[in-house]
Chains A and B, each alone.
Chain A
């Protein structure tokens, strides 16, 4: 079969990083081709080159057998290459149709021919089974729908080759399933799909072939049907990966963090957490699972001091911290790996070393008499970067914003674990990360548990909850509806509890 896209021997360097080192990618027409690699392996760079956002330092690009120079995204569009970005580029108070025709408005005299545009959008939507209402406003539709609008945008522009940049990171399991169906449909109608991802399950489910990158280098291209997930993970990370973490039985000690009759209001002013009581003991991981939006966020914020508790007590080592400012809670031995690493976890415009001392910048040795000691801060950063294998182009001086998501998360984990708090609240620690980073973070959390720390793990990923937890609490509608031993439960039981159809407080 003919290759519709060939990127041969592509080289691209940025200051301090060789993002693509002689990478070759050949994509067959009418196939779903996955591009797999860890965060920072060079996938996005390679695709940005194909889409005309970057120019390669060396190498050739061929589209349908012809040598091309893709100098900017307009050239890519003319060649029939379209991209669905990870972060959508939509105007929120415009309708679906208005967003799709933006820049290509069909005219009738001087005015936009909205009727005609709507018809065309509807036709495309039906042809590919997208089921999008052309008149809906973007702000009123779900994230999954917004992604379909992005897909329609490309189809409207007659794209033949569709690049999806980590499309499932923002979707619910149901939406992911539907997206897979849409991709197959696209290929069925003669399109070619390039899927950038680090999720092996998805590749296994939908892709025909898979190209693996590691640290900017091409590892190989394999047919997906004949390759196991384990094999692909090994190619991606460069060593064997354990999907299940090996851990000794827990050895729980006394209660470190205790919630008593806790009520918390959500931003709408309603009770998001209702009468929650929980104990987390030293040396155990208590997993809190539930469907997104059932009070997890409010609970975490109340414990860590980012939102006030309505009533109830939060005891940390016997002291009620429910009304204390954040700083005092941290000083009393609370650690927090936050749900939203960009909003809370990091100051993206700070350098990496500045971010690594964000709790302790005012303490000796990082500062004396109110004056910062940049050498001590740099030394600390260097130590953490090495110990936790945080990959960054320029060491402590790296702008945090320029780092990949996985390495940003590793930096947060490094900082929080290094503070060695007695109780650690961990929220969504591996969202959006690749298997290598996930394995590493899981290992560190279990090691903290074995060190006698009390860990409250909040996650939407059932696998993660089941793998790491010693005990599991299930939250539904703001209430704890189940408290189970992790060894004697399973996905089905948890699923039932999470959906509120049964109740089991052990």
Chain B
């Protein structure tokens, strides 16, 4: 088992290295310097400009800002996946969360601190509701969750836009009125600490979510039964577990993580509800994050940081003459290399000059 575990961490690491290598090769082929890409990424993550020898903490703040929502949508996808469900609906659950966050921020009056917590709870509840619907349809009528969640992404998008224009009201048809300060996750102290970045208290619920997700899945009896359903529905039924209930609950919890991301964006990064011309891709990024993170909470934590770093480095790359699209190429090729897991495993065991361990698992049959 320990041997196997080591390899399961090794595969994504190799895939990530390959992804960066491929990005570098593309740059070389188009006659650009891959070194400046790596320097831009380094600066994006640490704030250190190696060439100029300067340090600007604002970049660290922006790096964290980019990582937070995809960490939550990644958790959402990963959590559902452990119960054997493919949650394509993190995007819609996230939007449902932002609608609820906007409503509570605009309509509820509460003291500072309390108000922000209410916003977060409402967003999580809305996301949970949005996730529970496809879960219930799956459990009750065996409708495939992929179809329903995709449709519900559109429902959420149009619901949001209708609410912004006609319920919350918008003067410029782009955003709602500004939220009161009590509802916001923003904090001048955090901004000052990071030289005016958009860093906010959103990282607290994000980190708590990572821990909570890990704890539920790995440590509780509820998580045990979720995993059982994910691996073998019939076996779980035989063992006396409530398979249908678990499917609904799993989707609801997954939705709650995504809904939370909606609040973190709406009241952390921004301070108003937004009209959305189209999906922003947090749900799709969440799928990639979950995949690279091996659907485990801490794996999602690191892979969201990686993808957040790639996003944060994009403007810096452009300023260095590196096209920002290269970040997308790297992200896509990492996902591709993860999908080639078997090939990478073979490669690793060849390099170790050992008998292939993947085959060794069948020992004693």
Contact = CB atoms under 8 A, between A and B. Distances in A.
Interaction A to B? yes
B237 interface: yes
A349 B232 contact: yes
A124 to B, nearest CB: 30
B124 to A, nearest CB: 20
Interface in B12-41: none
20 contacts: A15-B360, A15-B363, A54-B355, A326-B238, A327-B241, A345-B235, A345-B238, A346-B235, A347-B232, A347-B235, A347-B239, A348-B232, A350-B227, A350-B228, A371-B219, A371-B220, A372-B220, A393-B364, A402-B365, A404-B365
A372 B364 contact: no
B240 interface: yes
Interface string B189-230: 000000000000000000000000000000111101101100
A160 interface: no
B234 interface: yes
Interface stretch (A114-122, A336-344, A485-493): A336-344
A343 B362 contact: no
A14 B235 contact: no
Given A306-B238, A347-B236, A372-B224, A394 B365 contact: no
A391 B224 CA distance: 24
Given A347-B232, A359-B239, A402 B363 contact: yes
A328 to B, nearest CB: 8
Interface in A46-79: 53-55, 57
A308 to B, nearest CB: 13
Interface residues of A, number: 51
Contact of A14 (B219, B239, B363): B363
B360 to A, nearest CB: 5
A370 interface: yes
Given A45-B365, A393-B364, A327 B240 contact: yes
A397 interface: yes
Interface in B132-166: none
B360 A14 contact: yes
B221 A361 contact: yes
A349 B360 CA distance: 16
A40 B221 contact: no
B241 to A, nearest CB: 8
Interface string A347-372: 11111001000110110000100111
A457 interface: no
A399 B363 CA distance: 11
Residue among B225, B231, B242, B357 with max Cβ neighbours from chain A (10 Å): B231
B171 interface: no
Contacts of B220: 367, 370-372
A44 interface: yes
A326 B1 contact: no
A330 interface: yes
A359 B240 CA distance: 7
Interface of A: 14-17, 19, 39-40, 42, 44-45, 53-55, 57, 304, 306, 325-327, 329-330, 336, 338, 343-351, 354, 358-359, 361-362, 367, 370-372, 391, 393-394, 397, 399, 401-405
A265 to B, nearest CB: 18
A403 B231 contact: no
B52 interface: no
A92 to B, nearest CB: 21
Contacts of B242: 325, 327
Given A371-B220, A399-B1, 6 more contacts: A14-B363, A39-B365, A325-B240, A393-B364, A402-B361, A405-B365
A358 B232 CA distance: 12
Nearest to A358: B239
Contacts of B228: 347, 350, 358
A344 B361 contact: no
Interface string B4-15: 000000000000
Nearest to B224: A361
B351 interface: no
B159 to A, nearest CB: 35
Contacts of A40: 364-365
B130 to A, nearest CB: 26
Contacts of A397: 1
A367 B224 CA distance: 11
Contacts of B221: 361-362, 367, 370-372
Contacts of A347: 228, 231-232, 235-236, 239
A344 B240 contact: no
Given A53-B359, A55-B355, A370-B220, A14 B238 contact: no
A68 B155 CA distance: 65
B3 interface: yes
A399 B219 contact: no
For the complex of A and B, list the 4 residue pairs with the smallest distance between their C-beta atoms, beginning with the closest.
A14-B363, A327-B240, A344-B238, A358-B239
A338 B234 CA distance: 11
Contacts of A367: 220-221
Contacts of A372: 219-221, 224
Contact of A350 (B1, B231, B359): B231
Contacts of A19: 363-364
Interface string B235-252: 111111110000000000
Contacts of A16: 363
Contacts of B222: 370
Contacts of A45: 363-365
Nearest to B223: A372
A19 B227 CA distance: 31
A471 B236 CA distance: 33
Interface in B330-360: 355, 357, 359-360
A354 B239 CA distance: 12
Interface in B261-293: none
B338 to A, nearest CB: 19
Residue among A14, A17, A57, A397 with max Cβ neighbours from chain B (10 Å): A14
B238 A399 contact: no
Nearest to B216: A370
A269 B236 CA distance: 24
Contacts of A371: 219-221
Contacts of B365: 39-40, 44-45, 402, 404-405
Contacts of A338: 238
A464 to B, nearest CB: 22
A54 B364 contact: no
B231 A348 contact: yes
A370 B220 CA distance: 5
B224 A306 contact: no
Nearest to B240: A327
B235 to A, nearest CB: 5
B362 A354 contact: no
Given A54-B355, A402-B364, A403-B364, A344 B235 contact: yes
Contact of B361 (A306, A325, A399, A404): A399
A16 B232 CA distance: 27
